[in-house]
């Protein structure tokens, strides 16, 4: 959680729940995680680009403009980094029915070669509409 003090606290309180702020925060977190893994593995942008089969400029672009990273590209990045993806969508704290709604985890060993496994709690309990899951 970000801590803000002084004259910027009022401004921060006004923007912290906006879509744009949350998008940029999430984008920054994803980019920082990618860069952290690259550093641990001793990889640079050229190495990542080669492993992904894209140009270095493409890697620089999506690392600088992370909000444009699609799930497909994120999966290609994780494969290039020999890493897994773990995605969770949870209800906000203080919600009347605060619980996990969607969890997903990429499993490269899944036999049907699906790129993502998503479990919807209500669907799993039989309350969901099959067409929602595609």
Least confident of 4-13, 41-50, 56-65, 83-92: 4-13
What integer pLDDT is reported at residue 108 of this predicted model?
Answer: 53
What residue segments make up the domains of the chain, in order of their start? 1-83, 84-134
From residue 117, how far is each of 5, 6, 97 by CA, in Å?
41, 44, 24
Tell me which of 8 and 22 has the higher pLDDT: 22
Mean pLDDT across 80-100: 79
Query: What is the predicted pLDDT for the residue at 59?
Result: 92
Tell me which of 78 and 22 has the higher pLDDT: 78
Task: Write down the CATH number for the domain with range 1-83.
Answer: 1.10.260
- Tokens representing residue 112 in the block: 């049907």
- pLDDT of res. 133: 42
Quick one: pLDDT band at residue 34, thresholds 50, 70, 90? very high
pLDDT band at 134 (very low <50, low <70, confident <90, very high): very low
- 26 φ, ψ (degrees, to nearest 5): -65, -45
Residue 102 in contact with residue 88, Cβ under 8 Å?
A: yes
8 Å CB contact between 106 and 85: yes
Query: With a threshold of 0.85, does the pTM exceed it?
Result: no
**Is the pLDDT score of 125 beyond 50?**
no
User: Is pLDDT at 124 greater than 90 in this prediction?
Assistant: no
The pLDDT, as a whole number, for residue 115 is 40
């Amino acid at each position: 959680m970000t801590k803000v003090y002084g004259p910027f606290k009022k401004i921060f309180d006004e923007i912290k729940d906006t879509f744009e702020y949350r998008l940029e925060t999430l984008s920054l977190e994803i980019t920082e995680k990618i860069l952290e893994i690259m550093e641990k593995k001793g990889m640079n942008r050229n190495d990542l680009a080669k492993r992904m089969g894209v140009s270095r400029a493409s890697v620089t672009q999506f690392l600088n403009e992370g909000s444009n990273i699609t799930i497909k590209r994120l999966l290609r990045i994780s494969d290039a980094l020999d890493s897994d993806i773990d995605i969770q969508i949870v209800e906000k704290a203080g919600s009347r029915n605060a619980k996990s709604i969607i969890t997903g985890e990429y499993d490269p060993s899944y036999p049907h070669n699906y790129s993502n496994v998503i479990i919807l709690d209500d669907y799993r309990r039989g309350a969901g509409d099959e067409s929602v899951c595609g």
